[in-house]
Homo-oligomer: A and B are copies of this chain.
Amino acid sequence: MSSDLENLLNLVKSRVTPTPQDRRRLENLAKKLMARLEAQLASMGLEAEVRLEGSIAKDTWLRGDADIDIFMLIPEDVPRDRLSKDYLEAARRVVEEFKVVERFAEHPYVEAWVNPRLRVNLVPCYKVTPPNWKSATDRTPYHTEYVKARLGGKGRSEVRILKRFMKGVGVYGSDIKTGGFSGYLTELLILAYGSFVEVLKEASRWRPGVIIDLEGYYGGREREARILFENHCLIVVDPVDKSRNAASPVREEVFHWFKASASHFLEKPSLKFFYPPKPRPPTPSRLKQVLKKRGTDILFLRLKGVNAVPDILWGQLYKTEKALVRLMKAEGFNVLRSASWSDEEENSVMLFELEQAFTGEVVKHYGPPVGSKEEGRFLAKHLNSPRTVAGPYIEGGRWTVLLHRKYADVRALLREKLKDGGRNVGVASRIAASIKSRGFNLWLNGEILSFYRENRGFKAFLAQFLKGKPVWLEG
């Protein structure tokens, strides 16, 4: 390793490693909450082992960026509904002094914010013997044990550097919004390859379908793993459960972004991979000019107060975004790019960058082959129709006709298709419900200005969308 690179990594390390005071403060808080939780459970007659899990238990958390994960390991014979009612109620009482959010995407748990930078998660799980998992979080205690038993002090530093890198290039997090790498996955990568730099070297050579199998469960039978984890671009066999891919949340795009950022970092190491400068959004009046001379049309679909926890919300936004792109393309609008943004509360916005918001007024429509039994109906329909511009004529052996388009203006198309919520063009359920109860806005280009002015988070997002390239590719 060059001394430049070594110096850079030491600098990062010094920033991400918690100080003794950081540790003491967190550990004290964790202990206090655990004791409270134990007492609360006892007072309610609820049996459970309370344990610290996650990055604090494994000592792989990033300074100034920690979650306290406290688990309740519950006997297997407790019914599931008591887990989501009684146990969760106990958890709620423990953190009632803080801001509390309840998360119910796949598995119920309580999230509380001690302060705007410190989150506590109180998570119920079943205490089971592998591989008899009963709920989605039952593996966590085993993950913690596995990593604690194998990762030394050097390894923990390497994990911290890798996590910081992944945060910097935007691929850290197994939530639906990010579709990237979980903390546990970064730890497994360090265990597999030994160091941050080695992980990057390997990642820069990854191809979709790569398999990392620490425990050698599929030794010599990689085909079997590939069939089991079909369509997963990255396969990291979970050491505590060989039927699970620890990398399954990683989306293909994120996989490629990590691979690309790894190889670019190795070629030209820089602190900006770890700590990218925040984009400076243009002023509203500058934005207006930028959009004007850009040469594309950007359509903004604004939704209000979609009622869903973040993982559900983002899943629905992405699904709807895809469905609307498909709709627009099918109607002749060339969508160049699209993206979704949300403050996860009142406002969500989908962005569609189009070649043109107006197509031509005429579309070519291919009908049945000459002489087929559908011919008669096609000709009868189009011969004297007011929508017919030219034809029917024969092209490539098929009857063909030029028709007036129903929608030459993309906004007219969306207004029509979304007016009843849009379920039948593929809009996801919660979003359709929000459209039906609260309506929606369609803004084209400069019409976004007043929303832009009032939403800081959206400002930064739009600035990045317009550039459309990562910070580490710049300059």
The verdict on A256 contacting B469 (CB below 8 Å), with A355-B359, A356-B359, A356-B360 known, is: no
Structural contact, A390 and B295, CB atoms closer than 8 A:
no
Structural contact, B469 and A393, CB atoms closer than 8 A:
yes
Q: Does A309 contact B (CB under 8 A)?
A: no
B residues in contact with A206, CB < 8 Å: 371
User: Which of A354, A390, A396, A404 counts the most B-chain CB atoms under 10 A from its CB?
Assistant: A390
Q: Residue A253 contacts which of B260, B359, B394 (CB distance < 8 angstroms)?
A: B394
Closest Cβ–Cβ distance, residue A138 to chain B (whole Å): 34
CA distance A392 to B402 in the complex (A): 37
The verdict on A391 contacting B296 (CB below 8 Å), with A259-B370, A260-B370, A371-B263 known, is: no
Of all chain B residues, which has the CB nearest A354?
B360
Q: Residue A256 contacts which of B263, B383, B389, B397 (CB distance < 8 angstroms)?
A: B397
Structural contact, B334 and A473, CB atoms closer than 8 A:
no
Closest Cβ–Cβ distance, residue A197 to chain B (whole Å): 18
Q: Does A386 contact B (CB under 8 A)?
A: no
Structural contact, A402 and B296, CB atoms closer than 8 A:
yes
Structural contact, A402 and B253, CB atoms closer than 8 A:
no
Q: Does A223 contact B (CB under 8 A)?
A: no
B residues in contact with A474, CB < 8 Å: 383
Q: Does A362 contact B (CB under 8 A)?
A: yes
CA distance A332 to B364 in the complex (A): 16
Q: Residue A389 contacts which of B296, B389, B395, B397 (CB distance < 8 angstroms)?
A: B296
Within 8 A of B (CB), among A431-460: none
Q: Does A466 contact B (CB under 8 A)?
A: yes
Of all chain B residues, which has the CB nearest A388?
B469
Structural contact, A294 and B394, CB atoms closer than 8 A:
no
Q: Does A361 contact B (CB under 8 A)?
A: yes
CA distance A206 to B397 in the complex (A): 12
Q: Does A148 contact B (CB under 8 A)?
A: no
Structural contact, B260 and A295, CB atoms closer than 8 A:
no
CA distance A379 to B390 in the complex (A): 45
Q: Residue A360 contacts which of B295, B362, B394, B404 (CB distance < 8 angstroms)?
A: B295
Q: Does A406 contact B (CB under 8 A)?
A: no
Q: Does A208 contact B (CB under 8 A)?
A: yes
Of all chain B residues, which has the CB nearest A294?
B389
CA distance A204 to B371 in the complex (A): 7
The verdict on A361 contacting B295 (CB below 8 Å), with A253-B394, A337-B402, A469-B390 known, is: yes
Q: Does A220 contact B (CB under 8 A)?
A: no
The verdict on A371 contacting B336 (CB below 8 Å), with A294-B362, A296-B361, A360-B355 known, is: no
User: Would you give the 0/1 interface string for A279-316, flagging 1 where the beta carbon is closer than 8 Å to chain B?
Assistant: 00000000000000011110000000000000000000
The verdict on A379 contacting B295 (CB below 8 Å), with A252-B397, A370-B260, A397-B256 known, is: no
The chain A residues found within 8 Å of chain B, CB to CB, are 204-208, 252-253, 256-257, 259-260, 263, 294-297, 332, 334, 336-337, 353-356, 359-364, 370-371, 379, 383, 389-397, 402, 404-405, 408, 466-470, 473-474
Closest 3 CB pairs of A and B: A295-B361, A390-B468, A355-B360
Other than the given A253-B395, A390-B467, A393-B469, 13 more pairs (CB < 8 A) read A208-B397, A252-B396, A256-B397, A257-B394, A259-B371, A260-B371, A295-B405, A295-B408, A296-B361, A332-B355, A337-B393, A354-B360, A355-B362
